[in-house]
Structure 1
Amino acid sequence: MYDLHRLRLLRELSHRGTLAAVADALGYSPSAISHQLGILERETGTRLLEPAGRRVRLSAAARQLVAHTETILRELERAEADIAASRTSITGTVHIATFQTAAQTLVLDVIQQLAHDHPRLSVTFAHVDAEAAIPALIARDYDLVLSEQYPGSPPPPHPGVSSEPLLTDPLLLAFPIDWSARSLADLAEAAWVMEHPGTAARAWSMAACRAAGYEPQVHFETSDLNLHSEIVERGLAAAFLPQLTFDPLRSFQTVSIDQSRIITASTRAGSDRNPAVNAIRSTLKQVASATH
């Protein structure tokens, strides 16, 4: 019988790409990872790793082993969920990956509510780039991921991941209080603040301006939406702001553009029976409903 620990190391390599990344994530040395995978090769009697320049890649046999390992881990996760469900109270630790807006407007409220309802349940969260969040969920770095979907950019399918919408968050056009603009088309000559290239928010923002007939002049780039608001309030640029980030104490103009982003919660298949994960999902829905 193959050693499950070594199978998990091979799976980690398939998700993280390099021995160094696996070692960093798991707290081993790269040489220790390599040694264990060498033993696994001898156990299986087939080559699992192939040289690819200065790195290695998985052979066809290794990819088959990883697929079987995924199935084994899903069943183990279901077993853990069944045992957890037999307890009289909800316990354990759930790790959430989130983006800034959701952390500020949803996650903190959820943590406070859960501390009252389930005091033996611990919740942690970290800001994770949208592009890395689902891979981190699949790699079991996190148990639940909050992500945002902008118009025109549906997320790619991820086998083994279940996602559900939490709320629809209207997008607003924001510009300084003394500007005379009334619509997006009026801001063709304006300076803009946007998120960084390569993000879904930036791609949508650029497409929205182009649909209005111009290429936006992006003077400022930041993922901090609070800073977007500050820049607009200081009269320096226009911005697209989700309604969840809107602070009525800020002094600038906003115009509805009849488009929204969708905030979703994603979990791994197999964790859908875990009472701790389900408690967080349920509380997220309650908080999102109250926010909406």
Structure 2
Amino acid sequence: MWDLRRLHLLHELHRRGTVTAVAQRLNYSPSSVSAQLAKLEDEVGVRLLEPDGRRVRLTPQGERVARYAAQVLDLEESVRSELRPDEAVTETVRLATLETTGRVLLPAALTRLRTAAPYLRVEASVLPPEVGLTELEARGFDLAIAEQYPGHTRAHRERLDRQVLGTDPVRLVVPAVSGITDLPGAASMPWVMEPEGTAARNWAVQQCRAAGFEPDIRFDSADLEIHVHLVRAGHAVGLLPDLVWTGNAVGVRLIELPGPSHREVFTSVRAAAVSRPAIRAVRAALAEAFDAVGRAGVPR
């Protein structure tokens, strides 16, 4: 009989590449991870690991077992959900959220869950969607909130289910006293954008290029509040989604962009966990929160 926890360790090693990374992720010591993987080798009866300098790597047999381990873990999660469809929601759901949805949707969703699922525990971390989706697939989280932009659709991962919460308009944001009226009018201004490599940054740069200029990006930050303060103080312009404002756009002006100018916000969970009562409860609360924000509108 192969131990499920040891299969999980092998799966993590396949994804993360080093015993040290697995140990850090799961709060084990590297020696403990190595010992458990050695025991798994004995259980399986073939060599799963081989030396690679000062590290180890999976053998071809190890890679094959790791791929099957992912399926076994998914099956175990799916069966657990099927066996407890009507059980009171008393689990813990680990959630990876965007900064804006963490600030706006998460509090409203938690308020709803206080009534709908009072014994549910939600643990949340603010992470870029690129990280959140990867950690979701690696079982570091149970649910992730992510975004994608027109023309920049994220890759669909076979083991992850995706449900759209809705669209969040993105607008050009300029200081309230600025005379800028459209995107080309911001060509000579300093810009603030999200860090290089993010979907939001790539989309924003493409919008500027389509308007005929290369943006002068002087500031970048994953914290959109910093964007707001720089624009409000007159030091930059930027492209920001409506969820940033949470009912207060004082000191700035929001200008419509040409063409499709929104981000699509969605939740993602492992396909094997779709039917878990706790997952369904959290998804429903987030959907209600998003709809409520949309009805409230954003000040101009």
TM over 0.5: yes
Q: Secondary structure at the match of 1:270?
A: helix
Q: Which residue of 1 aligns with 2:91?
A: 92
Q: How much does 1:197 deviate?
A: 0.6
Q: How much does 1:53 deviate?
A: 4.0
Q: How much does 1:286 deviate?
A: 1.3
1:83 partnered with 2:83 = yes
Q: Which residue of 2 aligns with 1:279?
A: 281
Amino acid at match of 1:121: L
Amino acid at match of 2:76: L
Q: How much does 1:103 deviate?
A: 0.5
- Give, in whole Å, the separation in 2 of the partners of 1:84 and 1:237: 53
Unaligned runs of 5+ in 2: 295-300
Q: How much does 1:45 deviate?
A: 3.1
* Deviation readout 1:216-244 (Å, 9 max, x if unpaired): 11111111112211111111111101011
**Cα RMSD, aligned residues only:** 1.5
- Give, in whole Å, the separation in 2 of the partners of 1:18 and 1:136: 16
Normalised TM-score (structure 1): 0.95
Q: Secondary structure at the match of 1:156?
A: coil
Which segment is superposed worse, 139-148 or 48-57? 48-57
Q: Which residue of 1 aligns with 2:297?
A: none
Q: How much does 1:43 deviate?
A: 3.0
Q: Which residue of 2 aligns with 1:15?
A: 15
Q: How does 1:1-292 map to 2 (within 5 A)?
A: 1-87=1-87, 89-246=88-245, 247-257=247-257, 258=259, 259-292=261-294
Q: How much does 1:65 deviate?
A: 0.9
Normalised TM-score (structure 2): 0.92
- Give, in whole Å, the separation in 2 of the partners of 1:19 and 1:27: 12
Instruction: Give the aligned length.
Output: 291
Paired-residue identity, % = 37
Q: Secondary structure at the match of 1:237?
A: coil
- Give, in whole Å, the separation in 1 of the partners of 2:116 and 2:35: 46
Structure 1 runs of 4+ with >4 Å offset: none
CA contact (8 A) 2:89 2:278 kept: yes
CA gap 1:129/1:56 in 2 versus in 1, 3 angstroms? farther
Unaligned runs of 5+ in 1: none
Amino acid at match of 1:144: L
CA gap 1:54/1:216 in 2 versus in 1, 3 angstroms? farther
CA contact (8 A) 2:13 2:19 kept: yes
Q: How much does 1:199 deviate?
A: 0.9
Q: Which residue of 1 aligns with 2:298?
A: none
Q: How much does 1:55 deviate?
A: 3.1
Q: Secondary structure at the match of 2:122?
A: strand
